[in-house]
Amino acid sequence: MATETPAQDVYAPAPGVVAQANIKSYAEVAQQAEHDLAGFWAERAEEFVWYKKWDKVLDDSNPPFYKWFVGGKTNVVANCLDIHQTTWRRNKLALIWEGEDGDLRTFSYHALNREVCRFANVLRSMGVQKGDRVTIYMGRVPELPIAMLACAKVGAVHSVVYGGFSVDALASRIEDSESHVAITCDGGYMNGKIVELKKIMDEALKRCATVEQVIVVKRSGQPVTMESGRDYWYHDLMNLPVARANNGGYKCSTEEMDAEDPLYLLYTSGTTGKPKAILHTHGGYMVGIATTLKWVFDIKEDDRWWCAADPGWVTGHSYIVYGPLLLGATSFMYEGAPTYPYPNRWWSMIEKYGINILYAAPTAIRGLMRFGEAWPNRHDLSSLRLLGSVGEPINPEAWRWYYRVIGKERAPIMDTWWQTETGMFMITPLPVTPLKPGSATKPFPGVEADVLSEEGKPVAEGEEGYLVLKKPWPAMLRTIYKDPERYVQQYWRKFPGAYFTGDSARKDRDGYFWIIGRVDDVIKVSGYRLGTAEIESALVSHPAVAEAAAIGLPHEVRGNAIHAYVLLRTGHEPSEQLNDELRQHVAHEIGPIARPEKINFVNGLPKTRSGKIMRRVLRARALGLPEGDLTTLED
Ligand code: PRX
């Protein structure tokens, strides 16, 4: 949990960074945005290609169903790739990729565009059309961004499922999206092992009937079953005549999209067992993510930017794939684990590729910190100008280590608070912002954040409350796919007129925000977001389990670890073996990240009279804290 910083522990921005910052005064831009929100974002949107300019910047006539750049026509890919083909940037590196096994692949803007065009032609030839959903379940290979961009180019809506998820999680996401086409890999490398992606896809497809065609990228080379008439190799399709345009070249037209047309679905965990698909659009999303990336990470034309997230999460969508390409930047992407084969892997790649900006999760920093300073100290990290953090609160100890050992006290840390739902950074420093370790500092210009009490009143300075956002922003989610009522219920009902984030926070006397953590039934494990209900439903799908409850307890490296409480069915006895089996069962159903740290066999679970499990009581008991109001407890 983040704690208040003493006044002397404020890190002034480095003069060198300030001198060349894209934004020199936070106050100036924040004021401009406050006075004229629509004008502020319109000015940012002018920087992009629009097939047709918008009629209205913000339509707020039907809250919370806000619309941005209404009437505007564009396509995010027109701005990520098409525009760079006619300038010198066609020769600039768009993507540098290193495989876990040391493979290196690079793509200029020209080469990336060519591959995206080829694959977009393939998708069109398979009947993929504007509005169709396509599920992407792959390892971290360049074909993942290529697939996403190709979908967007033809107007299809991609639904990327994180490659660390397993059968049940994948099946439920495919089913909900009703995809006809799925794209996967034979296997993916992770930590020296192969994740059997195609096999997991095959198993998932037994549970969902919509998928008619599966495209398989060859990465690991291990044998896989290819179902005739359903499964096709990516490399075969890419070499077919259909991958070419009529004139024989690798060209493909970019579909003209309405600013509000959907770009992608991204499933995320919420308070019920059913994952919800967050829907993002072409127009506003593009403007929001490009502006935030340019201003917060101060991207320059000759920078090498590394967002070390997984492309399967929102961080990867916004800041590995779309954001950097919108800015014409050079982005680095790495396939594997930070410690493979040794704990200097990240540092050696920073040196090798001359990375200027590193954006990573606190859990990775803490994990690498454990191995000591000698590993990073063996490498020249002097190319680093800025650092970033995302996904969970960064504890001041890890912040200071990151700042001192990796950034050499020269590179400020941009601690960016945001969510799958927000699409873009919301509370974040700019390079000119004085920093306090553990605080995400202030709202991005145009963003209004506040901390409210249960009654919806702003809490006093330094007091904990619910974090809300009081104004719409262009990259905001538009709805939950197929469930607008849940969108309203989940985010807009608790505090009328404000978006409820699900987080608790504090605001200090300087207006700095300190994020404390989730207040709903979401657990952040290594920055990954998991719902307690998803874990519980995986547990009760095991024949030995009658009831289950999952909670998050603090963990030194992962931030939180999952602890499960399990009530067995009659005829089953607790044992070491069953304990392992249940942990493995959850990993098999959801994915290894969801594997409980510990299973506790119990005789009963604390419940309300209406039968809702009181996880806070379990948590308090496990941590030895006061258990609070127990009057609603059934037993
Ligand atoms: O609890 C907050 C935490 O991550 C949640 C959003 O998770 P997700 O949708 O998976 O997106 C993660 C990547 C944007 C938030 O509700 N969170 C994210 N960034 C921070 C954070 N908590 C504290 N500090 C952050 N910088």
Q: Is 162 in the pocket of ligand 1 (CB under 6 A)?
A: no
Using pLDDT thresholds of 50, 70 and 90, give the confidence band for residue 631: low
pLDDT recorded at residue 507: 98
Q: Residue 413 contacts by C-beta under 8 Å, 6 or more apart in sequence?
A: 387, 388, 389, 394, 399, 402, 403, 407, 429, 435, 437
437-446 pLDDT, tens per residue? 999 999 999 9
Closest CA to 562 of 619, 496, 484: 619
- Mutation choice for ligand 1 from 292, 315, 390, CB with most ligand atoms inside 8 A: 390
Length of the chain equals 635
The pLDDT, as a whole number, for residue 633 is 66
Atom of ligand 1 nearest to the CA of 440: 26
- Mean pLDDT throughout 534-554? 94
Q: Which residues pair with 450 in a beta bridge?
A: 468
Question: Is the CB of 465 inside a 6 Å radius of any atom of ligand 1?
Answer: no
pLDDT tens string 573-622:
999 999 999 999 999 999 999 999 999 999 999 988 877 888 889 999 99
**Residue 413 Cβ contacting ligand 1 at under 6 Å:** no
Q: Is 545 helix (H, G, I), strand (E, B) or coil?
A: strand
The whole-number pLDDT of residue 333 equals 98
Q: Is the previous residue joined to 458 through a cis bond, with omega within 30 degrees of 0? A: no
pLDDT at 10 over 50: yes
Closest ligand 1 atom, CA of 502?
16
Taking the centre of ligand 1 as the mean of its atom positions, its distance from the CA of residue 380, in whole angstroms, is 31
Question: Model confidence at 628, in pLDDT bands (50, 70, 90)?
Answer: confident
All residues at 6 or more sequence positions from 51 whose CB lies less than 8 Å from its CB, including other chains: 73, 74, 75, 78, 256
What is the Cα–Cα distance from 120 to 128, expressed in whole angstroms? 9
Task: Name every residue whose Cβ is closer than 8 Å to that of residue 565 and which is 6 or more positions away in sequence.
Answer: 548, 549, 550, 551, 599, 600, 602, 605, 618
Q: Output the pLDDT for position 189.
A: 96
Ligand 1 in reach of 132 Cβ (< 6 A): no
- Classify the C-alpha dihedral 200-202-206-212 as positive or negative: positive
95 — pLDDT class (breaks 50, 70, 90)? very high
Helix axes of 576-589 and 167-177: crossing angle, nearest 10 degrees? 30
Going by alpha carbons, the residue nearest to atom 5 of ligand 1 is: 419
CA-to-CA distance for 63 and 484, rounded, in angstroms? Answer: 12
Q: In this predicted structure, what is the pLDDT of residue 5?
A: 56
**Closest CA to ligand 1's atom 24:** 393
Q: 185 to each of 188, 388, 474, how far by Cα in Å?
A: 7, 30, 33
Mean pLDDT of the 278-284 span: 98
Better-predicted residue by pLDDT, 247 or 558: 558
| Rounded Cα gap, residues 113 and 522, in angstroms | 38
503 touches ligand 1 (CB under 6 Å): yes
DSSP secondary structure letter of residue 457: P
Q: Is the CB of 416 under 6 A from ligand 1?
A: yes
Q: What digits encode the pLDDT tens for the residues 456-501? A: 999 999 999 999 999 999 999 999 999 999 999 999 999 999 999 9
313, two tokens: 């999460």
Q: Which two tokens stand for residue 577?
A: 């073996």
- The CA distance from 285 to 279, in Å, is 10
Distance 374 CA to ligand 1 centre (A): 30
What contacts 496, CB < 8 A, 6 or more positions away?
456
Mutate to test the pocket of ligand 1, among 524, 528, 560 (most ligand atoms within 8 A of CB): 524
CB burial of residue 516 (10 Å; 0-12, 13-18, 19+): middle
More confident residue, 15 or 323: 323
* 466 Cα: distance to centroid of ligand 1 (angstroms): 14
pLDDT tens digits for 31-74? 999 999 999 999 999 999 999 999 999 999 999 999 999 999 99
| Residues 456-470: b if buried by 16+ CB within 10 A, e if exposed | eeebeeeeebbbbbe
* Mean model confidence pLDDT for the chain: 95
- Distance (angstroms) between ligand 1 centre and the Cα of 529 equals 8
Dihedral over Cα of 68, 414, 3, 531: its sign: positive
Q: Whose CA is nearest to atom 10 of ligand 1?
A: 529
Whether the per-residue pLDDT at 3 is higher than 60: the answer is no
| Pocket of ligand 1 contains residue 79 by CB under 6 Å | no
The model's pTM: 0.95
Question: pLDDT tens across 497-508, in order?
Answer: 999 999 999 999
SS (H, E, C) 476-528: CCCEECCCHHHHHHHHHCCCCCCEEEEEEEEECCCCCEEEEEECCCEEEECCE
Question: Ligand 1: which residue has its CA nearest to atom 11?
Answer: 419
Q: Is the CB of 501 under 6 A from ligand 1?
A: yes
Q: Is 145 helix (H, G, I), strand (E, B) or coil?
A: helix
Answer yes or no: is the C-beta of 332 below 6 A from any ligand 1 atom.
no
User: DSSP alpha helices (H): ranges in 502-635?
Assistant: 532-540, 576-589, 615-623
Mean pLDDT of 117-131: 97
H-helix or E-strand spanning residue 74: strand 73-74
For 172, the token pair is 């439920």
> What pLDDT score does 17 carry?
87
With pLDDT > 90 as the criterion, what percentage of the chain qualifies? 90
Burial of 158 (0-12, 13-18, 19+ CB in 10 A): buried
* C-alpha–C-alpha distance, residues 152 and 255, integer Å: 8
Counting ligand 1 atoms within 8 A of each CB, the residue from 424, 529, 530, 558 with the most, and so the one to mutate, is 529
Q: Ligand 1 center to residue 390 CA distance, Å?
A: 6
CB distance 593 to ligand 1 below 6 Å: no
Task: Evaluate if residue 269 carries a pLDDT over 90.
Answer: no
Task: Specify the ligand 1 atom closest to the Cα of 515.
Answer: 23
**Position with higher pLDDT, 80 vs 611:** 80
Nearest by Cα to 121 from 279, 252, 280: 252
- Kindly give the number of the ligand 1 atom that is closest to the alpha carbon of 522: 1
For residue 482, the one-letter residue type is: K
At 165 the pLDDT is 92
CA of 482 to the centre of ligand 1 (A): 24
Lowest mean per-residue pLDDT among 62-76, 210-224, 270-284:
270-284
How confident is residue 2, by pLDDT bands cut at 50, 70 and 90? very low
Give, using CA atoms, the residue closest to atom 22 of ligand 1. Answer: 392
Q: What is the 3-state secondary structure (H, E, C) of 370-433?
A: CCCCHHHHCCCCCCCCEEEEECCCCCHHHHHHHHHHHCCCCCCEEEEECCCCCCCCCECCCCCC
Residue 139 reports pLDDT greater than 90: yes
Residue 398 C-alpha to ligand 1 middle, in angstroms? 17
How many Cβ atoms sit within 10 Å of the Cβ of residue 301?
10
Q: For the ranges 8-12, 86-90, 410-414, 476-480, which has the lowest average pLDDT?
A: 8-12
How is residue 445 written in tokens?
A: 């210009």
Q: Which residue CA neighbors atom 14 of ligand 1 most closely?
A: 419
Position in ligand 1 atom list of the atom nearest CA 309: 13
Our answer on whether the CB atom of 427 is closer than 6 Å to any ligand 1 atom is no
Tokens of 379: 């490498």
Peptide bond into 341 cis (omega under 30): yes
Phi, psi dihedrals of residue 464, rounded to the nearest 5°: -80, 145
Q: Which of 278, 359, 419 to mutate to test the pocket of ligand 1 (most atoms within 8 A of CB)?
A: 419
**Could you tell me whether strands 449-452 and 465-469 are parallel, antiparallel, or unpaired per DSSP bridges?**
antiparallel
Q: Which pLDDT belongs to residue 1? A: 43
Segment 341-366 shows an average pLDDT of: 97
Given a contact cutoff of 8 angstroms between Cβ atoms, the answer to whether 438 and 427 are in contact is: no
Q: How far is the CA of 425 from the centre of ligand 1 (A)?
A: 10
Distance 568 CA to ligand 1 centre (A): 34
Using alpha carbons, select from 177, 129, 120 the residue that is nearest to residue 149: 120
What pLDDT score was predicted for residue 483?
96
**What is d(CA 285, CA 266) in angstroms, rounded to the nearest whole number?**
13
- Is the CB–ligand 1 distance for residue 310 below 6 Å? no
* Residues 6+ away with beta carbon under 8 Å from 241: none
Is the CB–ligand 1 distance for residue 391 below 6 Å?
Answer: yes
Number of other residues whose CB lies within 10 A of the CB of residue 209:
10
